[in-house]
Amino acid sequence: MQVLLFVGAAFGLLLSDIILKNYVETYMSKDEERPVRNTHILIRKVHNKGICLNGLEKYPKVVKYSSTIVTFLISVAYIFSLLRKKHYIQKTGFTFLAAGAFGNVIDRWTKGYVTDYIGFQTKHKKITAITYNLSDFFIILGTILIWLSSIFNLKRKK
């Protein structure tokens, strides 16, 4: 039953990102930017053919296939984590990580790029220009939770 909860959460997270990407693709033009009321959050449409910050954008096949391999490896690790007793932080981390990885890989295979749509208004133009999607935040959060899980696990073993 616990496995179904974690997998269901991963699908829910993935679905939320897909819905937001679809909304941005359908209702926003390429150069449009919308501030979220009373925040420093900006919604915009950016097509990222590379990895983080358009790295390797000139090699879309390398990005697509390497992302797919990494997502497969994450999925295998996720399955093994779900089979363990307890380790809830690790399982939660892999839930976020898998949802984020799949969100971006699905884009790469269906569109040839990842749709990014969340930016932050800052004093720094270079930071303001960076655009993310929910999958990116899921990957970051999942990685942090897995890292924290491993630290707490190491402390228990001592």
Q: What is the pLDDT along the chain (158 residues), one digit of tens a residue?
A: 788 999 999 999 999 999 999 999 999 998 789 999 999 999 999 999 888 777 777 888 998 999 999 999 999 999 999 998 888 999 999 999 999 999 999 999 999 999 999 999 999 999 999 999 999 999 999 999 999 998 877 556 55
pLDDT of the residue at 56: 78
pLDDT of the residue at 69: 97
pLDDT of the residue at 107: 96
pLDDT of the residue at 155: 59
Buried b (16+ CB within 10 A) or exposed e, 117-147: bbbeeeeeeeeeebbbbbbbebbebbeebbe
| Side chain identity, residue 127 | I
pLDDT of the residue at 31: 76
Q: Which residues pair with 114 in a beta bridge?
A: 48
Q: Is 31 a catalytic residue?
A: no
pLDDT of the residue at 157: 57
Q: Which of 17, 31, 107, 116 is catalytic?
A: 116
Contact partners, residue 37, CB within 8 Å, separation at least 6: none
Eight-class DSSP state of 54: G
Q: Is 107 a catalytic residue?
A: no
